[in-house]
Amino acid sequence: MNRFEYVRPGTLAEAVAAAAAPGAAFLAGGTNLLDLMKGGIARPDRLVDLTHLPGLDAVERLPDGSTRIGALVRNADLAHDPDFAARYPAIAEALLSGASGQLRNAATAAGNVLQRTRCRYFYDTASACNKREPGSGCDALGGENRAHAVLGWSEHCIATHPSDFCVPLAALGAVVELEGPAGRREVPLAEFHHLPGSTPERETARGPGEMIVALRLPPEAARFAAHSRYLKVRERISYAFAVVSAAAALTLADDGRIGEARLALGGVALKPWRSTEAEAALAGQAPDRAAFERAAEIALADARPSGDNAYKIPLARRIVVRALQLAAAGTPERLPALPASPFAPAPGGVLHV
């Protein structure tokens, strides 16, 4: 690990100023950054420790009905917050399906959003990776790439974004609040992560010195509480990133038809992939398999394999159908013992605790 300067600011203004220096990086839970530093992938000259900043570790219900998640809220605390889990069950299910209990106790909401890809070539400093070293090439294109992207990839990068948390956040229209040298601004989460294009090293909309201070769910996100699920396919039941995942949320009208729909996919692109076209196609339809299969076809219409991962496209379609079916059946009274797993039995009930 390289030598670096350690700074512990006492205010947001001090943190932003400290991070304005070239080579600075923010430190919160450190569950991803420290691994990257130990492997020589990240080499910050300065670490700006945010863990002692006041006011960033709360979950707040705002007067307009929205919910604000402070940047330093721990993943475990958020998932186990009874009020939050009742209003946004798919997010709680996604959080509990990720990593281990120990990591969820340390990892933060903002850090989850900012985590880097788990592409093995990105982590292997002997391999060519345009994300790690722009212009060096992408060894994943001709390598072991069965877990890589099928949507939004380019000849410069076929990596995926690893977050579970971000998938239902994107589906529910979450907003990222940023604080930087020019003040505070907001970016929709669906636009926060960049697709690779020709500049895969530019991963997010976050500018120099900017830090995430909060994530905010709009008032309408809570309307989906009774019919909202997250489903994740992984190579082993625990401690594994998604091969493919889906967050599905519905409102049902009095006649049983779909009022509104929200749908996002994980494990298929370098960002959580929300399909507003599929959502529009579901509105007004009966919540049956035929409608869900049409939505799945729309959501994956632009998918193309990036090597040995052609199987992910039909798998993603099936996961979309299954997630929509689970959402239509109603949010379970309690989260399954294996959150988000397709092997978990679906407990009855529509209310959740």
Residue 238 — pLDDT band, cuts 50, 70, 90? confident
Specify whether domain 1-52 bears CATH 3.50.50.60.
no
Give the predicted TM-score (pTM) of the model. Answer: 0.96
Continuous H helices in 140-218: 166-171, 189-192
Residue 344 — pLDDT band, cuts 50, 70, 90? confident
Q: Where do the CATH 3.30.43.10 domains begin and end in the chain?
A: 1-52
* pLDDT for 196: 98
* pLDDT for 350: 42
Tens of pLDDT, residue by residue over 117-162, are: 999 999 999 999 999 999 999 999 999 999 999 999 999 999 999 9
CB 57 within 8 A of CB 93: no
Q: Where do the CATH 3.30.390.50 domains begin and end in the chain?
A: 224-329
CB 29 within 8 A of CB 106: yes
Cα 44 from Cα 1, distance rounded (Å) = 10
* pLDDT for 349: 44
* Dihedral sign for Cα atoms in the order 132, 134, 138, 139: negative
Q: Under CATH, domain 224-329 is a member of which superfamily?
A: CO dehydrogenase flavoprotein, C-terminal domain (3.30.390.50)
Cα 149 from Cα 111, distance rounded (Å) = 22
pLDDT > 90 fraction of the chain, expressed in percent and rounded? 93
Cα 133 from Cα 168, distance rounded (Å) = 31
Closest CA relative to residue 240, chosen from 31, 102, 97, 80: 97
Q: Please check the confidence at residue 351 and state whether its pLDDT lies above 60.
A: no
